[in-house]
Amino acid sequence: MSTPLLTIEDVAVELPTPRGNLRAVDHVNLSLEAGRTLGIVGESGCGKTMLSRAILQLLPKKAKLTGRVMFDGQDLVRLAPEGLRRLRARDLAVVFQDPMTSLNPVLTIGTQLMETIQEHLELDAPAARKRSIELLAAVGIPAPEQRLAQYPHQCSGGMRQRIAIAIALSCEPKLLIADEPTTALDVTIQAQILDLLAREQRRRHMAMIIITHDLGVVAGRADEVAVMYAGRVVERAPTQALFKRMHMPYTEALLAAIPKLETAPHTPLPAISGRPPDPTRPLRGCSFEPRCRYAAGRCYEAKPELKAAETPEHLYACFHPIQMAEGIGA
Amino acid sequence: MLNFVVRRLLAILPVLLAVSLLTFLIASLLPGDLAYVILGDQATPENVAALRRDMGLDQPLWWRYLSWLGHVLQGDLGRSFRTGQTVLQAVSERIPVSLELMLMAESIGLLIGVPLAIACAARAGSAFDRFMTGSAFAMLSMPSFLLAILLIYLFAVELHWLPATGYVPFTEEPLANLRFFVLPALTLALAEWPGIMRVLRSDMIATLQEDYIALAKAKGLKPSRILFVHALKPSSLTLVTVTGINIGRLLGGTLIVESIFALPGIGRLLVGAIYTRDLVILQGVVLLVACGFVIVNFIVDMLYAVLDPRIRHGHA
């Protein structure tokens, strides 16, 4: 095993709110090797976006971050702002969820691409322009030269997300974090964008973190999956192993909540009832206990720690793990 | 873009018409018969009736409005019955003073307000931000005559750096002219910058929360570029509106400041016309100032389109 490109060590994020401190990310440990893909899955409010912002050092000013984010041998948490700035785009890039809000409405697409390139690579304006056109072509934008002079509102949502991806790829980053890159898009566009990300990742040999609420998104695309719940990683495994034998009831519930083709019409979806616990008032026991159908005994008293299952790569945090003999396809 | 300009131009025509009707009505509905005003208290009823006939005052209101409007459209705004000066002459004598004062005051106001707003927004909630917001609030509540007196006391009486009052045209003595304008412009600017700062600061703070600012940071752009290129432009729409309103207001003259510093501007012309019941001058000046206001707002609309491409393309 080579040294990982990214190691998240004991990262916790607290946000002050009028109702007390909110623990958005609760002591998370993860690692990712160069060229590999990690999927982070969980429902809204489980802390996956806050975790990505913690890696990117883009947390709100008031947020308190503890732990270490080791990237390429440096701790991003303790890196000086100027050092961090030089690292961005070149080494560490991001694609946000909503392309309708992540591009600046008053600057042309050309400006937003070229400024990134010229900030980090030693290229003059014509060279940066040429590179921008190549990038737009690579992400599947027709007539890329004309697009440079246009503004974001002149492009469709899918087009804008492609442009955001072109910006993220512009300086050949080592790690790309895609934070729900398809949630805001039409279903027909989603697969195209995911395939584009996967293709560019292979071509450029980048590491990638895909954050999503949809286990189906990571199924065929991630090497490893981390399931988050209430700010904690509750199950983590190589993708194959996870789908074959999931141990955490929450993972199972997430998978069951995906609509399937075989299901007869008008069958209610087995949605996870209830809501995640109030993060300003942590529970004494397991945070999934109020919604878990297996909860009993110790679940009300103590928090289960992450522990290894059959293989050391497969970790789960549950007192009553489910053991599935057969995997169900997603 | 051309389409947009034409649409806007067509939209201001009815506004200008309404402005003309209102100014005409204001002057016509003021109590007191113009003929009595002109003839004084020695007037006989016959004299008054004759003068009313000569001036067309015996005609119905709508007829008087149309004939006045007809003259206005031909560039004839009327003539003061006191001084014999035409409205255009009176205004063209005074407007350079008000225009120069407005330009200087608004420039100084923007020069103080805009950098402070950006600095505060970049460190929202810091001690510096709280101090500046507090100072702006204090300045807002200070009346301009008090400011004027304080400035005169400091710069004219104590330090002897600048003249307290007076005026020479720029064309005669440019340097002396500018020296006369510093204190009145500063008085106005000190009242302008807090509004400018508060508006831009709060818009900037809102903009800095946007996803595209987070992305600009994630792109590793320099902080100055994020503030001035990515955040300032989308935050300046309200600033442009406020500046437009300020300019329009200052165009109409600033009575208190003009009076304290003895500047012959539009404000004093207007008040003089009111005191002497010089209705023709009053009507004409109000109409011109109102038209100026409408034109400034038209320019503001154009600036919106320059600042935000979505308005230019009819998307927002």
Q: Domain check: are B157 and B254 in the same one?
A: yes
Residue B51 has a pLDDT of 80
Q: Domain check: are B205 and B242 in the same one?
A: yes
A19/chain B closest Cα distance in angstroms: 20
Does B105 reside within a domain? yes
Dihedral sign for Cα B11, B16, B21, B23, please: positive
* B233 neighbourhood in chain A, CB within 8 Å: 106-107
Q: Of B62, B4, B58, which is closest to residue B310 (Cα–Cα)?
A: B4
For residue B310, what is the nearest residue in chain A, using CA coordinates?
A: A153
Q: How far is CA B252 from CA A268, B88, B296, in A?
A: 69, 15, 12
Q: Domain check: are B101 and B58 in the same one?
A: no
Q: Domain check: are B42 and B166 in the same one?
A: no
B302/chain A closest Cα distance in angstroms: 15
Q: Are residues B212 and A98, on separate chains, in Cβ contact within 8 Å?
A: no
Look at residue A206 and give its three-state secondary structure: coil
Does A205 reside within a domain? no
B104/chain A closest Cα distance in angstroms: 30
Q: B121-139 pLDDT, tens per residue?
A: 999 989 999 999 999 999 8
Q: Domain check: are B27 and B174 in the same one?
A: no
Residue A8 has a pLDDT of 94
Does A9 reside within a domain? yes
Across the interface, which of B219, B307, B310 has its CB nearest the CB of A116?
B219
* B234 neighbourhood in chain A, CB within 8 Å: 104-106
Answer yes or no: is pLDDT of B315 > 70: no
Query: Which residues 151-210 on chain A approach chain B with CB closer than 8 angstroms?
Result: 151, 153-154, 164, 167
A286 contacts A319 by C-beta, under 8 angstroms: yes
Does B260 reside within a domain? yes
- The 3-class secondary structure across A131-177, one letter per residue, is HHHHHHHHCCCCCHHHHHCCCHHHCCHHHHHHHHHHHHHCCCCCEEE
CA end-to-end span of chain A: 29
* pLDDT tens by residue, chain A, 330 residues: 568 999 999 999 999 988 888 889 999 999 999 999 999 998 888 889 999 999 999 998 889 999 999 999 999 999 999 999 999 999 999 999 999 999 999 999 999 999 999 999 989 999 999 999 999 999 999 999 999 999 999 999 999 999 999 999 999 999 999 999 988 888 888 888 999 999 999 999 999 999 999 888 898 889 999 999 989 999 999 999 888 888 888 888 888 888 777 878 888 877 887 888 887 777 788 888 888 888 888 888 888 888 888 888 899 888 888 874 444 433
Does B9 reside within a domain? no
Determine the longest span between alpha carbons in chain A, in angstroms. Answer: 68
> What are the phi and psi torsion angles at B171 (to 5°)?
-65, -25
Residues in a beta bridge with A236: A226, A315
A158 contacts A76 by C-beta, under 8 angstroms: no
- The residue-averaged pLDDT of B269-298 equals 87
- Length of chain A equals 330
Does A291 reside within a domain? yes
* A116 neighbourhood in chain B, CB within 8 Å: 219-221
Does A223 reside within a domain? yes
Last residue of a domain, which of B22, B41, B73?
Answer: B73
* B306 neighbourhood in chain A, CB within 8 Å: none
Q: Are residues A88 and B219, on separate chains, in Cβ contact within 8 Å?
A: yes
Across the interface, which of A56, A86, A153 has its CB nearest the CB of B218?
A56
Q: Domain check: are B173 and B246 in the same one?
A: yes
For residue A94, what is the nearest residue in chain B, using CA coordinates?
A: B218
Does A119 reside within a domain? no
Q: Which domain holds residue A236?
A: 1-80+211-260+270-330
Does A8 reside within a domain? yes
Q: Domain check: are B60 and B126 in the same one?
A: no
What residues of B are in the A interface, CB distance below 8 Å? 210-212, 214-222, 225, 229-230, 233-234, 307-310, 313, 315
Which amino acid belongs to residue A229?
Y
Query: Which residues 98-117 on chain A approach chain B with CB closer than 8 angstroms?
Result: 98, 101-107, 115-116
Token pair belonging to B119 = 């600095």
The H or E element that residue A79 is part of is none
For residue A102, what is the nearest residue in chain B, using CA coordinates?
A: B212
Region for B232 from its dihedrals, namely left if φ exceeds 0, alpha if ψ lies in -120 to 50, beta otherwise: alpha
Q: Which of B58-62, B220-224, B247-251 has the highest mean pLDDT?
A: B220-224
- Number of domains present in the structure of chain A: 1
**Does A275 contact chain B (CB < 8 Å)?**
no
Q: Of A37, A57, A10, A56, which is closest to residue A198 (Cα–Cα)?
A: A37
Q: Which domain holds residue B38?
A: 14-73
Q: Are residues B309 and A89, on separate chains, in Cβ contact within 8 Å?
A: no
Task: Tell me chain B's radius of gyration from C-alpha atoms.
Answer: 24
Q: How far is CA A181 from CA A48, A176, B43, in A?
A: 13, 11, 86
Region for B189 from its dihedrals, namely left if φ exceeds 0, alpha if ψ lies in -120 to 50, beta otherwise: alpha
CATH number at residue A315: 3.40.50.300
Q: Domain check: are B121 and B24 in the same one?
A: no
> What are the phi and psi torsion angles at A237 (to 5°)?
-160, 160
Does A86 reside within a domain? no
Pairing mode of beta strands A6-17, A64-71: antiparallel
**Does A21 contact chain B (CB < 8 Å)?**
no
Q: Of A33, A57, A276, which is closest to residue B220 (Cα–Cα)?
A: A57
Q: At what angle do helices A109-120 and A157-169 cross, to 10 degrees?
A: 10
* A153 neighbourhood in chain B, CB within 8 Å: 309-310, 313, 315
A169 contacts A94 by C-beta, under 8 angstroms: no
Count of beta carbons in the 10 Å neighbourhood of residue A168:
28
Using the 8-state DSSP alphabet, how is residue A291 labeled? G
Q: Domain check: are B143 and B289 in the same one?
A: yes
Across the interface, which of B211, B307, B315 has its CB nearest the CB of A96?
B211
Q: How far apart are CA B310 and CA B298, in angstroms?
A: 18
- The residue-averaged pLDDT of B253-276 equals 87
Residue A303 has a pLDDT of 86
Q: Domain check: are B111 and B222 in the same one?
A: yes
For residue B237, what is the nearest residue in chain A, using CA coordinates?
A: A106
Q: Domain check: are B35 and B184 in the same one?
A: no
For residue B304, what is the nearest residue in chain A, using CA coordinates?
A: A106
Q: Are residues A167 and B230, on separate chains, in Cβ contact within 8 Å?
A: no
> What are the phi and psi torsion angles at A154 (to 5°)?
-90, 0
Task: Report how far Cα B30 is from the mean position of its chain's Cα atoms.
Answer: 25
Token pair belonging to A56 = 């990117």
Q: Are residues B212 and A104, on separate chains, in Cβ contact within 8 Å?
A: yes
Which amino acid belongs to residue B250?
L
A49 contacts A253 by C-beta, under 8 angstroms: no
Q: Domain check: are B68 and B99 in the same one?
A: no
For residue A98, what is the nearest residue in chain B, using CA coordinates?
A: B211
* B217 neighbourhood in chain A, CB within 8 Å: 58, 88
Token pair belonging to A80 = 């000086």
Region for B112 from its dihedrals, namely left if φ exceeds 0, alpha if ψ lies in -120 to 50, beta otherwise: alpha
- The residue-averaged pLDDT of B216-243 equals 94
ipTM: 0.88
Provide the strand spans (E) within A56-134.
64-71, 74-75, 92-95
CA end-to-end span of chain B: 14
Residue A1 has a pLDDT of 52
State what percent of residues in chain B have pLDDT above 70.
98
Taking all residues of chain B, what is their mean pLDDT, rounded to a whole number? 88
Interface residue of A61, A87, A104 to substitute, partner B, most B CBs within 10 Å: A104
Residue A328 has a pLDDT of 42
Task: Tell me chain A's radius of gyration from C-alpha atoms.
Answer: 21
Does B81 reside within a domain? no
- Number of domains present in the structure of chain B: 2
Does A57 reside within a domain? yes
Count of beta carbons in the 10 Å neighbourhood of residue B29:
8
A243-247 contacts: CB < 8 A, separation 24 or more?
A243/A219, A243/A327, A243/A328, A243/A329, A243/A330, A244/A324, A244/A327, A245/A309, A245/A310, A245/A314, A245/A323, A245/A324, A245/A325, A245/A327, A246/A322, A246/A324, A247/A309, A247/A314, A247/A316, A247/A318, A247/A321, A247/A322, A247/A323
pLDDT band at B169; cut points 50, 70, 90: confident
**pTM higher than the cut 0.95:** no
Q: Are residues A101 and B315, on separate chains, in Cβ contact within 8 Å?
A: no
Does B283 reside within a domain? yes
Q: Are residues B234 and A104, on separate chains, in Cβ contact within 8 Å?
A: yes
Q: Of B71, B256, B49, B43, which is closest to residue B147 (Cα–Cα)?
A: B256
